[in-house]
Structure 1
Amino acid sequence: MRGPGLRAEVHAGRGARISSLRSDDGFEWLLASRPTVSAGPGQPFVREGMGGWDEVAPTVQADAGLLDEQGKPVPALPDHGDIWNVPWTVGRAAPDELEMSVDLGSLPIRLERRISATGTGLRLDYRASTESPLPVPLLWCAHPQFAAGPDTTVALELSGKPVTPLLVEMYPGQGAVRSFPVEPVHGTLGPGTSLKVLAAARTTVDAAVLCHGGGRSLRIGWDPAALPYLGLFWDNGEFAREPVLAVEPSTSWGDRLSAAVRQGMALTVAAGAPLEWALDVSSTTVLK
């Protein structure tokens, strides 16, 4: 896939993962992705799964707490969901457009994704649909694992203006409130540690800008009405082989779908009422 300033490589057989995202000058934004021992559900995500830009749904952390419409337990949802390591069906495939789809294994939802070239880079369009007449909750989040150096920062925006929302720690602590960091975070993390936070509920953000020292930046934009929640993740070698930073706009708040449902912060899909959302990705290089 090619768009102005960006080139993406996609592996349909391994969860439609974007294994490479490069600027025109060859700069690689993503941590190198290594395939798991075999494709299919049940493979461990940590270490083997880390790297690249994969698709996470219908939960991030393994979740055994979801109930169906009759109040009966749903079989446990696997770590990082159903679809990150299974083959997707390829529809249209062209240098400037790539359409794929997959059926979730644990919930009656079909997810479709189209990557297309835009005037500024690449656009990822998503559609989640179901034949269920009753609402089915969905936790989808973007899961790009960007390679991060000691000077890598992330800035958040709303309508082109910077915002610094309060953050709620999810890991390693639970519930602690943090200020938004304006300095690089990896320099404050010890080796073998990581930090996962969520933008506080009722926070509105529509873009994140990843900056590398030397003048490189990557912008991800979205509609906050379609993706009302946002997670940020810094890993300094606890789960990935090398430091990574993940920007995770999401359809639900948190890392477990059942918790989001209990809190009333999970979007749902029903027959005739699909969910649709999109991400616009562009890069800028002003080398110093």
Structure 2
Amino acid sequence: MVTGAPVVRVTTDPGHGGRWTSLSSGGREWLCHRDEPRRRWVRPGDAFADAGGLEECVPTVRGGPDHGDAWSRPWTQDGDTASVRCPDFHLTRTLGVADGGVVADYRLTAEPGYRFLWAGHALLDVSEQGRIAVIEGAPGRLYRDGGSDWEAFAWPRAGVGDAATAAGGPDAPAVPPAPVSPDIRFDLLGPDDGTALGAIVDTARATVHDGRNTLEFALEAPGQPVSVAVWRNLRGFPESAPYRSIGVEPMLGRVFDLAAAGERDAARVPATGEVRWRLTITARP
């Protein structure tokens, strides 16, 4: 457990994927939790078992392995540092505090040239009045289903004006514009409406506002592409038993599926054999 006096407390579960099980401040718990009995017994290669919290998704989010290779493996804990070995890489995470916020320092080692995505897959307990603040007009990609096709938009409004669908990022061949809905406000969460949409925004920062509380995410990764993914599931997923799930996910990379990543859409291990990045989360009353 790491405490950032007086506002932030974090608890993780190294035995189950290094998952962040609590992120609280001032008596408020920010992470949502679901009763998902499969989560405790998952093994590498299993389908994702959504129990809420913050999962470490690497080297991909969608595609295979589902939500990556690290969330389904036990991690080794040594003080405030936890680590996991996967077939193609070794990941370590060290938790600390700075200016009242929680700081997570990451280091991934692999063969030079190895490409990967990472997402701090944070699923949040946010009310219908909650909103997500990202710099106005930041370019983003709207995903309407579980695949790799996306439509370009500018935060926070999707579906306004022309939008081109792309598969595999900006390096993919151009295709005709696809039909879009009249308007989607990604910053406003609102009541459940039966929709489930994902987006990735080219920004290193995002802030969640809910009542008098705010939660700020900031990502630093020199030399690597960074973004923030937003999963806006208002009881539209899964079809068999939909539930509400709001995800704000700082990322290395700019796509959900590593297999669909263009040349500049994924992180790449340099000649040194390691990539370092820092995630800072600050909660303010």
Give identity over the alignment, percent. 26
Instruction: Determine the C-alpha separation between the residues in 2 that align with 1:273 and 1:37.
Output: 33
1:185–1:109 Cα change, 3 Å: same
TM-score normalized by structure 1?
Answer: 0.78
1:88 aligns with 2:91: no
Q: Paired residue for 1:230?
A: 228
Measured in 1, the distance between the counterparts of 2:187 and 2:199 equals 15
Residue deviations 1:158-199 (CA, integer Å, cap 9, x gap): xxxx433132212338332334236753337622x3110122
In the superposition, relative to structure 1, how do residues 246 and 22 fare at CA in structure 2: closer, same or farther (>3 Å)?
Answer: same
Identify the match of residue 137 of structure 1 among 106, 115, 140: 115
For residues 222-277 of structure 1, the C-alpha deviation after alignment (integer angstroms, 9 at most, x for no partner) is 226445233211112314974232222222221111221x4432221156231110
Q: Which residue of 1 aligns with 2:255?
A: 254
Report the count of equivalent residues: 247
- Using structure 2 for the length normalisation, give the TM-score: 0.79
Alignment correspondent of 1:178: 153
**8 Å contact from structure 1 (residues 115, 122) kept in 2:** yes
Residue of structure 2 in register with 1:215 after alignment = 212
Please tell me the residue identity of whatever aligns with 1:252.
G
The 1:215/1:242 distance shift into structure 2, 3 A limit, reads farther
Name the SS of the counterpart of 1:175 in structure 2: strand
Q: Check conservation: 2:43, 2:73, Cα contact below 8 A.
A: yes
State the partner residue of 2:89: 109
Distance 2:230 2:221 in 1: 16
Change (3 A) 1:78 1:149: same
Paired residues of 1:185 and 1:234 also in contact (CA < 8 A): no
Q: Which moved more, 1:117-126 or 1:182-191?
A: 182-191
Q: For 1:271 and 1:38, how far apart are their aligned partners in 2?
A: 37
Hey, what does 1:11 align to over in structure 2?
Answer: 13
Task: Indicate the residue corresponding to 1:30 in structure 2.
Answer: 31
Query: Whole-Å Cα distance in 1 between the matches of residues 33 and 108 of structure 2?
Result: 28
Letter in 1 for 2:153: R
Task: Name whichever structure is richer in strand by fraction.
Answer: 2
Compared with structure 1, are the counterparts of its residues 242 and 115 closer, same or farther at alpha carbon in structure 2 (3 Å cutoff)? farther
Distance in 1 (CA, whole Å) between partners of 2:10 and 2:228 is 23
Runs of 5+ unmatched residues, structure 2: 157-184
Displacement over 6 Å in runs of 4+: none
Question: In structure 2, what is the equivalent of residue 125 of structure 1?
Answer: 105
Structure 2 counterpart of 1:159: none
Are the structure 2 counterparts of residues 264 and 284 from structure 1 closer, same or farther at C-alpha, using a change threshold of 3 Å? Answer: closer
